């Protein structure tokens, strides 16, 4: 493979991802993957929009208009949240800042991209989640008599039961499970934070069935990834895109039989759904926050807000429009933004 020329766009990309982030900044693998994904998506967008080859992209093509159009496409075409959009923008700006520090000629690009603002989000934004019936309908789609169906079903069950992020499921290894009296899975989260979550008996049964079919090596101390694909005779961890594609496909198939299945089902919906169901069944919000591995309780408030809004809509649907109560069922009355409610959610009351 030819060496990348120093000072070129992709020369800087290589040094940013392979040297600067891991060796100088000592960032976690998952953080680096997030930066890598943001740049990959951006370059694919520029390439496709201009009918170019990847190696034909240059710094001067990374204009404010181009990056803004790319960020808009994340929301409209890929269904990404505003938070994800802003994270992608932050990664792009971090790379450009690095490149500008290496080459003063790129400073003009950095100034250009400073024009692109973060998109404002509500303090507590709505969260999408699936009903328990929708989750069950999706899990019933894979044909477990076939290897891929068995793998895909087990992956989705594990993702739902643990509330894991998709990268946490990709990274999980055989040694991360304990199937004793209290079965658990250990997950490596954002920023290298480790958390251990309990597993339901049914999940353990599915895991054992899957492991017996896909793994012959002992589990204890094994660095083998739980889920993998075989390419040219070698095991490789599943990719984020691979998981996203088959989950979307299973979601579309399940929707034909269950109207509660939402459009465009994606991996993170399983995490949101599990957290929402635990909260609705009485788990304290502080415990939900710890279980999800959230750094701050504020992040978990979306579930309280979504549940309150869900109840408001249910009451509204059950109340006749000519009923005097109907006019009082406005969203503002149920929005969690007053200090007393927040204090209770924070555990201060």
**Which residues are known catalytic residues?**
165, 190, 268, 271, 294, 303
Tokens of 74: 């994340």
Count of Cβ atoms closer than 10 Å to residue 331 Cβ = 11
43 in Cβ contact with 54 (< 8 Å): yes
133 in Cβ contact with 261 (< 8 Å): no
Count of Cβ atoms closer than 10 Å to residue 39 Cβ = 18
3-state SS class at 237: strand
Please choose, from the candidates 167, 273, 284, the residue with its C-alpha nearest in 3D space to the C-alpha of residue 227. 167
3-state SS class at 173: strand
Helix axes 297-317, 339-346, angle to 10 degrees: 120
Give the integer Cα–Cα distance in Å for 44 and 66.
Answer: 12
Q: Classify burial at 127, counting beta carbons within 10 Å of its beta carbon; exposed 0-12, middle 13-18, buried 19 or more.
A: buried
Please choose, from the candidates 127, 154, 153, the residue with its C-alpha nearest in 3D space to the C-alpha of residue 292. 127
- Phi first, then psi: give them for residue 251, nearest 5 degrees: -65, -45
Give the integer Cα–Cα distance in Å for 232 and 54.
Answer: 25
- Phi first, then psi: give them for residue 61, nearest 5 degrees: -85, -10
Give the integer Cα–Cα distance in Å for 265 and 244.
Answer: 8
């Amino acid at each position: 493979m030819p060496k990348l020329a120093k000072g070129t766009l992709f020369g800087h990309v290589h040094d940013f991802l392979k040297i600067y982030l891991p060796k100088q900044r000592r960032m976690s693998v998952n953080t680096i993957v997030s930066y890598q994904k943001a740049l990959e998506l951006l370059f694919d967008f520029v390439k496709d929009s201009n009918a170019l080859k990847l190696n034909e992209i240059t710094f001067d093509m990374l204009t404010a208009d181009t990056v803004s159009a790319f960020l808009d496409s994340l929301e409209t075409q890929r269904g990404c949240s505003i938070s994800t959009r802003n994270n992608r923008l932050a990664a792009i700006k971090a790379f450009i800042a690095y490149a500008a520090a290496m080459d003063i000629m790129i400073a003009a690009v950095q100034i250009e991209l400073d024009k692109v603002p973060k998109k404002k989000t509500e303090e507590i934004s709505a969260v999408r989640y699936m009903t328990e019936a929708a989750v069950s309908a999706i899990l019933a789609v894979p044909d477990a008599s076939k290897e891929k169906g068995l793998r895909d079903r087990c992956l989705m069950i594990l993702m739902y039961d643990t509330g894991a992020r998709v990268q946490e499921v990709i990274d999980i290894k055989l040694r991360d499970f304990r199937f004793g009296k209290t079965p658990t899975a250990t997950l490596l989260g954002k920023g290298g934070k480790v958390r251990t979550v309990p597993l339901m008996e049914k999940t353990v049964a599915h895991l054992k069935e899957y492991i017996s079919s896909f793994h012959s090596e002992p589990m204890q101390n094994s660095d083998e990834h739980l889920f993998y694909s075989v390419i040219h005779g070698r095991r490789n961890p599943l990719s984020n895109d691979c998981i996203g594609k088959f989950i979307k496909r299973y979601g579309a198939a399940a929707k034909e039989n269950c109207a509660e299945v939402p459009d465009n089902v994606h991996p993170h919906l399983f995490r949101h759904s599990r957290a929402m169901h635990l909260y609705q069944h009485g788990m304290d919000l502080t415990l939900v926050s710890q279980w999800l591995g959230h750094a701050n309780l504020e992040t978990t408030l979306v579930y309280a807000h979504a549940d309150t809004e869900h109840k408001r809509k249910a009451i509204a649907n059950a109340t006749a429009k000519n009923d005097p109560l109907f006019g009082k069922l406005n969203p503002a009355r149920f929005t969690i933004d007053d200090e007393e409610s927040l204090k209770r959610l924070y555990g201060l009351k």
